[in-house]
Structure 1
Amino acid sequence: MASQWHSLVSQKLFMARTLLGLLDPSINSAGGRTNTEAEQALSREAAIQGSIELLLRSRTLLLVMIARLYQYRTEEPASLNELASLIGEATSEVVRLREFESRAGSWWNHLDQLEMSQSRPPATRKTVSDENIIAVSVDTGPDRSAASLQKTLSAMKTFADDLEEQHSEW
């Protein structure tokens, strides 16, 4: 039963990887014509947002997979706190995920940042003129580059595969 959940997590991660592959600017649209700059920008943003959504869905499914590994057949935890209350705060999976959650730069932390930025409208930007130029550090949000998303995806896949391997040995 747990391997079905591992397959579902792996499928979502594969779909995200496929979308990230679309970020290659050499991709042409149907009919062999080259995409305009606006079409390329739109395709790129769609691929980024779609990949992020699949990564976030994969993380939620990963929590359900862990619950199934602990023989909880009907519960579907939607957050790490829900998983911890279900299987216990001291379980190795929760301990490892809490570590990822608190470590800056981890795949879990990166997903938290992406989820927050994807769930809010973009910040409005002031127009720049000679009278109002001031050097200010602006929060640019989380790294949404294909390389960064691929790194997060690979780390999640490794974590899911390790869990599946560890629990299938029992």
Structure 2
Amino acid sequence: MASQWHSLISQKVFLARTLLAQRDRSDGVPVQEAHWQGAVELALRSRQLLLVMVARMYQEKNAEPENLGALRALLGNDTSEIAELEALSAGASNWWQYLDQLERYQTRPPAPKKTISDENIIAVAADTGPDRSSNALKQALAELKQFTDALEERHSEW
């Protein structure tokens, strides 16, 4: 049963990569942005489906956890997958954190820009948001796919 979820995740990752390839070949900012946002949404959906896949691996047939906390509540703290996912969630620089940054960026309106004048100019580092390059998202998708494949392989051996 979990292999069906693995196939669905693989499909979403493939489609996200396809959108990124289209983005790199397309002209016009709106079309590129549409491809980018579509790829990000597919990546986020893949991550959420990964949680469902883990639940199904532990015979939770109707569970569809929305986040890592819900998966932990469902399975408890004694599974290696929970430990691995929590390590990713707490890590500083990995595909899980990158997708968290993209989710925050994509689900909030842009911060209003202040007007600059001689009286209020101060040199500060501005929050530029997550890396929005195709290569960064392609890397995150590859790592997510690798993680998913490793889980599938580990559980299909049983």
- TM-score range normalised by the length of the shorter chain: over 0.9
Q: Separation in 2 of the partners of 1:79 and 1:50?
A: 20
Unaligned segments of structure 1, at least 5 residues: 28-34
Change (3 A) 1:129 1:44: farther
Letter paired with 2:130? P
1:11 is aligned to: 11
Deviation at 1:126, TM superposition (A): 2.2
1:85 is aligned to: 73
Q: 1:106-129 deviations in whole A, cap 9, x for unaligned?
A: 111111111111110011112345
Q: Separation in 1 of the partners of 2:110 and 2:77?
A: 36
1:96 is aligned to: 84
2:52 is aligned to: 64
2:154 is aligned to: 166
Unaligned segments of structure 2, at least 5 residues: none
Give the paired residue count: 158
Q: Separation in 2 of the partners of 1:163 and 1:77?
A: 17
Q: Separation in 1 of the partners of 2:105 and 2:77?
A: 28
1:153 is aligned to: 141
Q: Pick the structure with greater CA Rg.
A: 1
Partner of 1:89: helix, strand, or coil?
Answer: coil
Q: 1:24-45 deviations in whole A, cap 9, x for unaligned?
A: 1x44xxxxxxx4xxxx111111
Letter paired with 1:43? V
1:41 is aligned to: 29
1:51 is aligned to: 39
1:105 aligns with 2:99: no
1:142 aligns with 2:142: no
Q: 1:111-162 deviations in whole A, cap 9, x for unaligned?
A: 1111111110011112345554431211111112111111110000000000
Partner of 2:23: helix, strand, or coil?
Answer: coil
Match among 123, 127, 148 for residue 115 of structure 2: 127
Q: Separation in 2 of the partners of 1:133 and 1:46?
A: 34
Under a length normalisation based on structure 2, what TM-score does the superposition of the two structures give?
A: 0.94
Deviation at 1:87, TM superposition (A): 1.3
Partner of 1:73: helix, strand, or coil?
Answer: coil
**Aligned residues: CA RMSD:** 1.3
2:21 is aligned to: 21
Q: Separation in 1 of the partners of 2:62 and 2:112?
A: 43
Q: Separation in 2 of the partners of 1:147 and 1:128?
A: 33
Change (3 A) 1:12 1:127: same
1:31 is aligned to: none
